[in-house]
Amino acid sequence: MSGTRGGNVALDLFVVGQHLGALLEEALAESGLSPAQYAVYSQVADGSTSPKALIEALGLRPATLSGYLNAMEARGDLERTRDPADRRAHRLALTEQGAARHAVARTAFRRALRAVDRRLARDGSVAQARAELARIDRALHHD
CA distance 120 to 141: 26
CA distance 95 to 27: 23
pTM for this prediction: 0.82
Q: Where are the alpha helices (DSSP H) in 29-95?
A: 35-45, 51-58, 62-75
Contacts 24+ apart (CB under 8 A), 67-76: 68/36, 68/37, 68/40, 69/40, 71/37, 72/37, 72/40, 72/41, 72/98, 75/101
For residue 44, list its beta bridge partners.
none
Show pLDDT as tens, one digit a residue, over the chain (143 residues): 555 566 788 888 999 999 999 999 999 999 999 999 999 999 999 987 899 999 999 999 999 999 999 999 999 999 999 888 888 888 999 999 999 999 999 999 999 999 999 988 888 888 898 899 899 988 988 65
Count CA atoms closer than 13 A to 105's CA, side-chain side. Answer: 23
Domains of the chain: 33-140 (1.10.10.10)
- At 6 the pLDDT is 65
- At 88 the pLDDT is 84
- At 141 the pLDDT is 81
